[in-house]
Structure 1
Amino acid sequence: MVSHLGVMVVVAAVLGVVVSGLAIPFAGVLGFTARTVASGIDELPQELVTDALPQRTRIVDQRGETIATLYDQNRVNVSLKDVSRPMVQAIVSIEDFRFYQHGALDLKGTLRAFVSNQASDSVVQGGSSITQQLVKLTLIQQADSPEEIAAAQDDSYARKINELRYAIALEQEHSKDWILERYLNTAYFGDGAYGVQAAARNYFDVNAGQLNLRQAAMLAGLVQNPGRFDPTNSPDLATERRNVVLNRMAELGVIEQQRADQLKTRKLGLDQPAKQNGCVTSRVPLFCDYVVSYLKQDRSLGRTPRQREQMLKRGGLTIRTTVDFKYQEAADQAVSDNVFPREQAIGALAVVEPGTGEVKAISQSRPYGADKDAGETFLNYVIPQEIGKANGFQAGSTFKSFTLAAALEDGLPLSTTYNSLSPMTFDQANFETCDYGPDLGGTFPMVNSTSSGLMNMYSGTRLSVNTYFIQLEEEVGICKPFELARAMGVRLTSPNGEGGVQPEMYPNFTLGVADVSPLEMAEAYATFAARGLHCESRPVTQIRDAQGNVLKNYPAQCDQVMEQSTADAVSDVLRGVLEGSGFAAAQALDQPSAGKTGTTNDGNSVWFAGYMPGMAAAAMIAGVTEAGEPDSLLYKTVGGSTVYSASGSGFAAPIWGEAMRVIDDDFEYEDFVYPSGVSGVGNTSVAPPPSPSPPQNTGRGRGRG
């Protein structure tokens, strides 16, 4: 008798609700006074703010093919017109079949559910309308703390009253179709899928507009309890729940009972593609990591690192990148053929387009991932340290090209000749530094590892003669090559910055003592290929928002950092490295190419940076310890063979050549521009200098050819 009386009281309370104003004459059933309820209602906002739903971000290649997805919640919003009719019918039938007939509150449904639940002393039926459910989902979605989430999920009448007030506001502000669309995009369907589009893709690998009746019934059944009915964990329960939906649709006359009975005999028919979230599952994981790290530094995507990360994972962006799958596959193959993942060495290659700075491929021998036993790592050795978190490696004699270009900019002819003996002793006091450079003093010896004798710019560069370049640097000063290298994209630290004087400002700068990444060297050598036009390397060209509007373009950022004739002259010199008896002639391409080898003392790292007019690349192999610290390559196993003598031409250049011979197939034959206006072009013969060589002086030898 008491139970029936309680039901009658609650029914009376519910019937006292005036939907337009939510007037409740009494609410003592739960111990609330009418004044408390009314006061609480008065304090509620008049409308529910519905923020943009988190959506997954797509990273695509230059042709628009997806290479990765990023998300906190796997969701892709779709309009109601892009959801199949069976899906709409199924969700309305099982969740709120009178949705289009009632307002924010379905009195009949609420009373029916309340009476049924009271009679069974348990929750048998839900009485919330789709609009009320949307309110609850929205409050949970937009909660910023565990306390707010708990409040949104609180199973109390106070929470339901709040929920109803918000539901009334939604019904007043929005159409039924808008509410249903928002609900379908907000609801969680289990197995990490938020919204009907992600669910359709996750379970059946189709779009929401292609869902058939059997598939739609299963999805519609999940929203009541996505964890319990998850078909990936509980297929039997999911099947039972699907059949409940089919029976309900037949009971309401939406489908024929015979059709429902036929479908109930069918299996779930799951077709689940592999999940992709983050860079580990990407087709090009290392490039994906580069893109994400690059964008996390872009303050236009958020003021703080956390805001930028949320934008990437929740903003529903489409990020168009510069990666070319063909070039990436060529780079991966070349690196993997020459350096194996578990060896104590890092092999790497970066490919950059001259004149645009677009990064077409990056590759390293250690795969991207967490399995250390398989040689995997999350460190990206190919890109600069501030982005990839890995220290660079000394680039050896590839730095000689910066001194060569600085000397040409200074007006020295290509025929500039020095008697380049080995050994020679140099005085650091004879080297001019920048205003912020150190006061140098003391002598140091220098030896050659290749050839000695009379050398000009052609022979001194092609033979990579250390004492020639120390003398050339003595004439032009240290500052000019240093600043030119920075202008070409090499991240060198200014000596007057924090940490004091940097070793790059000593005479051995020309021998490549600075730690750099392959991407920096590819960017720098692309400047020569672009005839002195330096373009900052970039992996992204455009970002669009979830509605397809352009959020931001990333145009080429280019500056002419040297005379075109200077770059042309450098190319004329460096092409000799890949021609005739040049150190890297074995890697010659089908069209004109130029480059420079680099090897550091003790063989810690070997390099080859080179280019053709249309593309540039830099390859590196560096020795590392088990802990990842720089170490000699000597007597290590690299590519399955023991290294007894390391050189840029013998180890790094083959990586460059293997990849670039694939890449150059996409280019028509194009020669370098003849370096007009530069004195001594083509004069490879060497005559004694017109006057005695300056006193033989300068620094610490660190580079070899």
Structure 2
Amino acid sequence: MSKTRFDGLPPGKVLSHLGVMLLVSAVLGVVVSGLAIPFAGVAGFSARNVAESVDELPQELETEQLPQRTEIQDKSGKVIATLYDQNRVNVPLRQISRTMVEAIVAIEDYRFYQHGALGLKGTLRALFTNQAAGGVTQGGSSITQQLVKLTLITQANGDEEAIKAAKEDSYGRKLKELRYAIALEKRHSKDWILERYLNTAYFGDGAYGVQAAAQHYFSTNAKDLNLRQSALLAGLVQSPEAYNPTRNAAQAKVRRNVVLQRMAQLSVITDAEADKTVAMKLGLKVQDQPNGCVNSRAQFFCDYVVRWLMTDPALGETADERERLIFNGGLTIKTTVDMGFQRAAQDSVSSHVFKGDAAIGGLALVEPRTGNVRALAQSRPMGKGKGETFLNYTVPKRYGDASGFQPGSTFKAFVLAAAVNQDIPLTRTFPAPSERGFAENSFETCDGPYQSGATWTVHNSTSASANPNLYEGTQKSVNTFFAALEQETGICEPWKLARAMGIDLAKEWQKPAFTLGIADVSPLDMAQAYATFAGRGLHCSPRPVTQIEDTDGNVLKEYEKQCTQALPSPVADAVNDVLRGVIEGGFGSALNPGQPAAGKTGTTTGNQAVWFSGYTPNLAGAAVVAGVNKAGHPESLDYKSVGGQTLYTSSGSTTAGPIWGDTFKAIAQWLPDDDFTRPSSSDVAGLLIPVPSVSGLSYEDAKDRVEAAGFTAVRGPSRTSGVARGLVAYAYPGDRAGAGDTITLYISSGPKKERKPKGGGGGKPGGGKPGDGNNGRGNG
């Protein structure tokens, strides 16, 4: 060894050089090791200790799937949102331009295909140069070593300690990096390593991987990158922020030209090509990749999709696992939103309720017989600014954090349906004075008479004849009429029916004022319920997603529609015949979209919220306008400025109805001109067919028996029951239904397993005061 190599260096530098040599000898096992051993004592190591430390390192580096951005698509396949922690789209090496490959190899590791895991010449040169300079002035890592470092950082998943360890400027880190690099080279081809590197590297400005970088900086794909573009991108990986062309164009150009000159020096390109390209401008055509639902054209539908998927255990055992898959899995999420419907809904909501109003306007659209959610719109956009919110008022609380609003008289439709189902003729009349008192214990709940000795005094806010029938009482939304009708039907069946149609109601809401809508609901709740009427009694759970695909286009999961016959089709036909009168001459006549439609208005006590829930045979929608204070709590709409007008009074037909009407008028052009099925008479008594008993039968035998009776049979999920496993536990509906209705056959999974009791107390649901704050003044 030349003595002059260490001349003039302080002792610390000498030891540092020796450490470098020892590191190289330990890893490579080359002739240099013989030179390092005599100095081992000086460096504080022994050759044996170094060898043992190398042997203790892991043999292989696990290369997990790289985080990739997820796309959310509308029903036609157009992207409406992208989600990612790292903006990356993996591409195979064959889809990266040859020029880009040559540029990155030339500037980062020109002997990549000739050497092994470690480029010895480059590493020694860089290590000694950096030691002499007292800092990092020259890079010496091979592409394989760089990939190891990038992989460790990426797989740290934001763990600051792990990231710090991956970047640590120490011999220990370098030793570990080299061992991993050797393992990678043994396990994978050079092409695989280079492909992985180009997909892992960070190119600045939020772009990870060469495909995302090509799209971001040049609005092109990696396979189409030319020399000027390739040289710029290849230069970025050394220091993505220092050479960021969107903020540091001059430095970026200098670095690009260094790459071009290096390519010419290595004869990858000619001097003439280099000179010509050096003279060119950067040629940026920046295209940002929006991240998250806040940047979507359907913000709250997107948010609903994410939160809906987060509840699916098939996407991961824990919430963290599901979130990682959704935001980093490179998924293609195919949804049900129709952007034509979405634009119409959003335009209508925004024109009737301004974002800065002390009120919320919202609308949900659901397709009957599929449950497909076609649009979700609300007046306050997503964000933290003035007049913005992250609360999704259009969906149930578990998907949007908003508690919902009382639906008022839109709940009368459930009492109407229960009455028809109980063979109460549509021509039946009830006295309807402007005010009437009802003993609360005269109303039957599922557990017997309502436990209260109070009198419920009901007031009308609309006028009607003295003894209206079910048509007039509904179309004019007469409160005293419906209190009397509910007294006859009982509260239990309307409550059960509302639940079967998608409204999540606890038993505590079995109160006399149920018919006046005292439980908080969302527009999506009401839209799916009224879609059940439109679908002739078939209730389908709201479905925002139809399918999820992975990065290779393989289907990870399909979401089939989930439907059950919630009420017999003749009953739904009769309800439709009554509710179409609301639009065809009733309170909602001004909302008529020009094709068969039905609906119901709703207003709560004190005008805190007003509703219109309506539908055609092919689409259902529920619109709400509700007063809210700065804390987000309900308050009256009276005297508020909403949509540029002061509301001295409000109602479902005049305040919420126009949101529904304008939306349906805009989209009527895309809806088939179908009509409702007319009931065979004004009284549907006798039209319902008994459903045969099938409990204990095999599925095939039960299916044959149900279809022989004139119904359609479908297989339902398993249910615990006393019936033997694999046989039919029960049918739903199980009593009566209309000809052709869908009967779901639920399969028994056997008795419920006994669980050992755990300690702890219980409690009863709160009862609330009679009427629960609704004195029956809510109108239609």
Equivalent residue for 2:327, pick from 310, 313, 324: 313
User: TM-score, normalised to structure 2's length?
Assistant: 0.84
Question: Which residue of the partner structure matches residue 166 of structure 1?
Answer: 180
- Indicate conservation of the 8 Å contact 1:23/1:38, yes or no: no
Structure 1 pair 702–51 and aligned structure 2 pair: CA distance change class (3 A): farther
CA distance in 2, matches of 1:143, 1:33: 32
Residue of structure 2 aligned with 1:220, choices 222, 226, 234: 234
Paired position in structure 2 for 1:207: 221
1:433-459 per-position Cα deviation (integer Å, ceiling 9, x unaligned): 012885232212112111241111111
Q: Go from structure 1 to structure 2 and tell me whether the alpha carbon gap of 1:479 and 1:186 turns closer, same or farther (over 3 Å shift).
A: same
User: 8 Å contact 2:601–2:652 — kept in the other structure?
Assistant: yes
Q: Which residue of 2 aligns with 1:609?
A: 613
Residue 24 to residue 564, structure 1, CA distance change in 2 (3 Å): farther
Q: CA deviation at 1:360?
A: 0.6
Q: What is the aligned partner in structure 1 of residue 778 from structure 2? A: 703
Q: Which amino acid aligns with 1:215?
A: Q
Residues 445 and 16 from structure 1, CA distance in 2 versus in 1: closer, same or farther, beyond 3 angstroms? closer
Contact 1:607 1:618 in 2 (8 A): yes
Q: Pick from 428, 435, 440: which aligns with 2:452?
A: 440
Relative distance call for 1:11 and 1:560 in structure 2 (3 A) is: closer
Aligned to 1:51: 64
Aligned length in residues: 679
CA contact (8 A) 1:512 1:702 kept: no
Unaligned runs of 5+ in 2: 8-13, 686-769
The alpha-carbon deviation at position 541 of structure 1 amounts to 1.1
Name the CA shift for 1:9/1:628 in 2 (closer, same or farther; >3 Å): closer
Give the match's secondary structure for 1:273.
coil
Q: 2:670 pairs with 656, 659, 666, which one? A: 666
Kindly tell me: are residues 284 and 30 of structure 1, through their superposed partners in 2, closer, same or farther at Cα, counting changes over 3 Å? farther
Question: Partners in 1 of 2:609 and 2:50 — Cα distance?
Answer: 75
Distance in 2, Cα, partners of 1:461 & 1:625: 32
> Deviations for 1:505-563, whole angstroms, at most 9, x for unmatched residues?
11110011111111100000000000000011121111112222111111111100100
Q: Are the structure 2 counterparts of residues 22 and 449 from structure 1 closer, same or farther at C-alpha, using a change threshold of 3 Å?
A: farther
Are the structure 2 counterparts of residues 350 and 183 from structure 1 closer, same or farther at C-alpha, using a change threshold of 3 Å?
same
Between the aligned partners of 2:449 and 2:396, the Cα distance in structure 1 is 24
From the superposition, tell whether residues 31 and 637 of structure 1 become closer, same or farther in structure 2 (CA, over 3 Å): same
Match of 2:248 in 1: 234
Q: Structure 2: how far apart are the matches of 1:141 and 1:668?
A: 51
Question: Structure 2 vs 1, CA of residues 67 and 508 (structure 1 numbering), >3 Å: closer, same or farther?
Answer: same
Q: 1:631 maps to what in 2?
A: 635
* Inter-partner Cα distance in structure 2 for 1:20 and 1:12: 11
Match in the other structure for 1:471: 484
Counterpart amino acid of 1:277?
Answer: N
Q: CA deviation at 1:677?
A: 6.6
For 1:567, give the aligned amino acid.
A
Q: Is the 8 A contact 2:17 2:128 kept in 1?
A: no
Task: Specify whether residues 9 and 607 from structure 1 end up closer, same or farther in structure 2 by C-alpha distance, changes over 3 A only.
Answer: closer
**Greater displacement, 32-41 / 92-101:** 32-41
Equivalent position of 2:260 in the other structure: 246
Counterpart contact for 1:507–1:700, Cα < 8 Å: no
**Structure 2 contact 516–778 (Cα < 8 Å) conserved:** yes
Q: Which moved more, 1:275-284 or 1:9-18?
A: 9-18
* Structure 1 segment 33-44 matched on structure 2, within 5 A: 33-44=46-57
| Alignment match of 2:355 (pick from 329, 334, 341) | 341
Is residue 504 of structure 2 the alignment partner of residue 491 of structure 1? yes
Quickly say closer, same or farther: Cα 1:37–1:14, change in 2 above 3 A.
closer
Residue equivalent to 1:514: 519
CA distance in 2, matches of 1:342, 1:178: 54
1:305-338 CA distances to partner (integer Å, 9 max, x unpaired)?
A: 2222222211111111111110001001111111
The corresponding residue for 1:585 is 589
Percent identity of equivalent pairs: 57
Is the CA contact (8 Å cut-off) linking 1:396 and 1:702 kept in structure 2? Answer: no
Following superposition, the deviation at residue 233 of structure 1 comes to 2.3
Aligned to 1:686: none
Q: Which residue of 2 aligns with 1:528?
A: 533
- SS of equivalent to 1:255: coil
**For residue 134 of structure 1, what is the amino acid of its counterpart?**
L
Equivalent of 2:192, from 164, 173, 178? Answer: 178
CA distance 1:220–1:399, change in 2 (3 Å): same
Partner of 1:515, secondary structure, is coil
- 1:3 deviates by 3.9
Match in the other structure for 1:688: none
Matched, 1:105 2:118: yes
CA distance in 1, matches of 2:98, 2:448: 72
- CA shift, 1:111, in A, is 2.9
Which of 535, 543, 546 is residue 538 of structure 1 equivalent to?
A: 543
Q: Cα 1:30–1:617, aligned 2, differ >3 Å: closer, same or farther?
A: farther
Within-5 A mapping of 1:542-621 = 542-580=547-585, 582-621=586-625
Shift of residue 127 of structure 1? 1.6
The 2-side partners of 1:30 and 1:391 are apart by 68
- Deviation at 1:678? 6.1
Preserved CA contact (<8 Å) 1:13 1:24: yes
State the alpha-carbon separation in 1 of the partners of residues 290 and 469 from structure 2.
Answer: 56
Instruction: After superposing the two structures, state which structure 1 stretch, 524-533 or 21-30, moved more.
Output: 21-30
* Aligned partner letter, 1:575: R
Contact kept? 2:331, 2:548, Cα under 8 Å = yes
